[in-house]
């Protein structure tokens, strides 16, 4: 009898403990969007280095020029620009008048010059591709940039340059720092505050965890309702959370605790679940190029025929199949949605074992296939990268070639690509379309000896003088149309060397509540897509949904 009493007490205590969750509910606030992105590490424009940081940049700051859907750039903070002197080392930019910082002060050439000097002096983030740049103020609304090397694409690179307010930064430098009298150049302060002109103002930021922002009513580009539905209004408050566990994110999305997810790490079953939920929507915003580099400096991938055999042996359909309803498909040197895309071999994009055997027979390793082990490395923890490796393993086994698939953790995996000798035969990477000059990113940065190196060029092939000369010419050609023609010519030349296997393009699907609308302007690059000025909220629908 006493036993029963004790047990009753235990059960009642447990029920009470769990049950008092009933009265707790999420406080509904109308015009707020909770958005999940990958952890924003730095909100300082001079140190922001990854596409995740770029998402924050496009909301808090404004770039000098703005990417367009066709891959070029248009006026933004800068209204016009021109090369001065004809050698492409000296550029002059006219600034838009009346642009306000979040402090209410007007943006001037002084701020832009200071920001460029700060960007280059600190030498972090996205400043790498710019080299050395010297900024000079010409008048209140004109600034000059002198480059150490000629560059026809310099204006396009400024899609990742976000001016800061000089006075605010100088008022918040911390001493001592790495920059003499300028202390830390305001780096510490800018990690949790903003000094920008963007559509949203930072309220709080806990790096890697959460960023809160409110709408900036003085945003120079305005908040026009043109193109939006009658009940679709600007989002007043943004809460960026930064989580990576998609099981928890699904729970949050379904319960209405998450409005928009912009990282796109969903699995196929999760995407199917989202598609079937009438309260939720999926938006295809941009795709990423899945690229498997083949190291041209180590055996057996040092043989061009061997590399081509891999391209023909791979079963593209087998890997893409489950993803196809969500927009995955063929890709090449650049993404298929970019103007000037040239399809590359094999065509159609399917396994051709006969052709693979022919190529293998032409390779110098044709007679000792049994002794060969092809090493394929993917970033540990990324299942879709492992799937590509396992598919390759199965496909190459049909040719009698052994493939070793391994997924070391990111630090080891990326460090291996610091030299040709330490890079495995094959390494898989996912390249997102950066707002950084996109054609240049997918070609010059990935195939020129002057490119970004490291994981961007883990094929280590720089032996074709004609290819190098053509790549160099793209940076010297001021005419965008002529440059595009060269980019078209370059694709088959690069593809002919078989430096990479391109299994498919992987779309980044933004899952969101049905009452979130956007993006109005489809700019398929990282940054502009996540600029919440390009999204709206339908409060009538939200209320009807009871969220």
From candidates 87, 245, 324, 404, binder to another protein by CB under 8 A? 245
Distance of CA 256 to the CA centre of its chain: 27
Residue 320, both tokens: 């893409």
Segment interacting with another protein (CB under 8 A) among 10-18, 71-79, 370-378, 521-529: 10-18
List all residues 6 or more positions away from 536 whose beta carbon is below 8 Å from its beta carbon: 228, 229, 232, 233, 234, 235, 516, 517, 518, 520
Q: Smaller CB distance to another protein: residue 10 or 170?
A: 10
Q: How many CA atoms lie within 13 A of 133 on its CB side?
A: 31
Mutual angle of helices 268-275 and 246-255, in 10-degree steps? 10
CA distances from 275 to 33, 240, 283 (A): 20, 23, 10
Segment interacting with another protein (CB under 8 A) among 96-104, 118-126, 333-341, 384-392: 118-126
DSSP 366: T
Segment interacting with another protein (CB under 8 A) among 34-42, 70-78, 84-92, 353-361: 34-42
Q: Smaller CB distance to another protein: residue 31 or 225?
A: 31
Q: Smaller CB distance to another protein: residue 303 or 416?
A: 416
Residue 438, both tokens: 């996109």
From candidates 6, 175, 276, 371, binder to another protein by CB under 8 A? 6
CB of 233 to another protein, least distance (A): 18
From candidates 1, 5, 16, 22, binder to another protein by CB under 8 A? 22
26 lies in the site for another protein, by CB under 8 A? yes
126 lies in the site for another protein, by CB under 8 A? yes
Subset of 160-179 contacting another protein (CB under 8 A) = 178
Cis peptide before 481 (omega within 30 of 0): no
Beta bridge mates, 200 = 215
Subset of 379-418 contacting another protein (CB under 8 A) = 408-412, 414-416, 418
CA distances from 125 to 10, 77, 160 (A): 57, 20, 10
Beta bridge mates, 512 = 260, 281
From candidates 127, 328, 423, 438, binder to another protein by CB under 8 A? 127
Q: Return d(Cα 441, Cα 163) in angstroms, integer.
A: 22
Subset of 48-107 contacting another protein (CB under 8 A) = 49-50, 53
241 lies in the site for another protein, by CB under 8 A? yes
- Residue identified by tokens 């989002």 is 235
Q: Return d(Cα 108, Cα 89) in angstroms, integer.
A: 23
Q: Smaller CB distance to another protein: residue 290 or 401?
A: 290
Q: Smaller CB distance to another protein: residue 273 or 358?
A: 273
Segment interacting with another protein (CB under 8 A) among 1-9, 93-101, 108-116, 537-545: 1-9
Segment interacting with another protein (CB under 8 A) among 82-90, 95-103, 117-125, 165-173: 117-125
- Indicate the SS3 state at residue 127: helix
- Indicate the SS3 state at residue 258: coil
CB of 234 to another protein, least distance (A): 18
Q: Smaller CB distance to another protein: residue 17 or 224?
A: 17
CB of 480 to another protein, least distance (A): 22
CB of 293 to another protein, least distance (A): 15
Q: Smaller CB distance to another protein: residue 129 or 300?
A: 129
Residue 231, both tokens: 């009940």
List all residues 6 or more positions away from 495 whose beta carbon is below 8 Å from its beta carbon: 332, 333, 344, 345
Residue 412, both tokens: 């080891």
Q: Say how many residues touch another protein, by CB under 8 A.
A: 67
Do residues 55 and 526 touch, judged by C-beta distance below 8 A? yes
- Indicate the SS3 state at residue 306: helix
From candidates 66, 436, 442, 504, binder to another protein by CB under 8 A? 436
Q: Smaller CB distance to another protein: residue 34 or 335?
A: 34
454 lies in the site for another protein, by CB under 8 A? yes
CB of 59 to another protein, least distance (A): 18
Report the 10 Å Cβ neighbour count for 464: 15
Angle 195-96-64 from CA coordinates, rounded to 5°: 60
Helix H segments across 69-108? none
Subset of 254-293 contacting another protein (CB under 8 A) = 254-255, 257
3 lies in the site for another protein, by CB under 8 A? yes
Q: What is the contact surface with another protein in residues (CB under 8 A)? A: 3, 6-7, 10, 17-22, 24, 26-29, 32, 34, 41-42, 44, 47, 49-50, 53, 123-129, 131, 178, 187-188, 191, 206-209, 239, 241, 243-245, 247-248, 251-252, 254-255, 257, 408-412, 414-416, 418, 436, 452-456
């Amino acid at each position: 009898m006493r036993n029963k009493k004790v047990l009753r007490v235990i059960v009642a205590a447990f029920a009470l403990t769990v049950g008092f969750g009933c009265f707790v509910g999420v406080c509904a606030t109308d015009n707020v969007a909770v958005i999940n992105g990958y952890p924003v590490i730095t909100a300082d424009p001079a140190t922001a280095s990854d596409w995740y940081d770029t998402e924050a940049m496009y909301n808090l700051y404004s770039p000098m020029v703005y990417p367009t859907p066709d891959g070029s750039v248009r006026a933004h903070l800068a209204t016009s620009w021109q090369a001065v002197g004809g050698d492409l080392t000296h550029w002059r930019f006219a600034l838009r008048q009346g642009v306000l910082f979040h402090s209410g002060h007007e943006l001037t050439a002084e701020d832009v010059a200071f920001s460029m000097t700060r960007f280059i002096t600190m030498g972090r983030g996205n400043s790498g591709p710019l080299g050395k740049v010297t900024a000079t103020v010409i008048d209140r609304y004109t600034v000059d940039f002198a480059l150490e090397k000629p560059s026809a694409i310099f204006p396009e690179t400024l899609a990742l340059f976000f001016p800061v307010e000089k006075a605010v930064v100088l008022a918040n430098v911390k001493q001592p720092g790495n920059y003499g009298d300028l202390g830390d150049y305001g780096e510490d302060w800018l990690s949790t505050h903003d000094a920008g002109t963007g559509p949203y103002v930072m309220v709080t930021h806990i790096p890697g965890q959460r960023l809160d922002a409110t709408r900036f009513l003085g945003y120079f580009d305005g908040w026009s309702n043109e193109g939006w539905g009658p009940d679709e209004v600007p989002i007043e408050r943004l809460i960026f959370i930064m989580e990576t566990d998609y099981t928890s994110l699904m729970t949050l999305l379904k319960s209405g605790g998450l409005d928009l997810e912009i990282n796109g790490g969903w699995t196929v079953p999760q995407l199917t679940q989202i598609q079937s939920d009438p309260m939720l929507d999926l938006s295809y915003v941009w795709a990423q190029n899945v690229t498997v580099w083949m190291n041209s400096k180590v055996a057996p991938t040092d043989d061009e025929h061997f590399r081509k055999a891999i391209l023909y042996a791979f079963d593209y359909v087998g890997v893409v199949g489950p993803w196809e309803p969500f927009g995955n498909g063929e890709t090449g040197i650049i993404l298929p949605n970019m103007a000037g895309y040239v399809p590359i071999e094999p065509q159609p994009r399917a396994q051709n074992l006969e052709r693979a055997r022919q190529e293998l027979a032409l390779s110098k390793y044709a007679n000792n296939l049994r002794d060969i082990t092809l090493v394929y490395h993917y970033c540990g923890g990324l299942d879709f990268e492992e799937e590509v490796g396992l598919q390759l393993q199965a496909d190459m086994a049909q040719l009698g070639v052994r493939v070793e698939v391994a997924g070391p953790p990111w630090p080891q995996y990326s460090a291996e690509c610091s030299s040709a000798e330490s890079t495995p035969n094959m390494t898989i990477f996912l390249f997102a379309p950066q707002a950084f000059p996109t054609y240049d990113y997918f070609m010059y940065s990935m195939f020129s000896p002057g490119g970004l190196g490291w994981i961007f060029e883990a094929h280590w092939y720089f032996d074709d003088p004609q290819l190098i000369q053509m790549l160099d010419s793209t940076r010297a050609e001021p005419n965008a149309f002529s440059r595009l023609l060269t980019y078209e010519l370059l694709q088959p030349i690069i593809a002919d060397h078989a430096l990479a296997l391109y299994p498919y393009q992987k779309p980044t699907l933004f899952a969101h509540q049905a009452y979130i609308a956007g993006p109005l302007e489809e700019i398929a690059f990282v940054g502009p897509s996540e600029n919440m000025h390009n999204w709206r909220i339908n409060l009538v629908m939200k209320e009807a949904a009871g969220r």
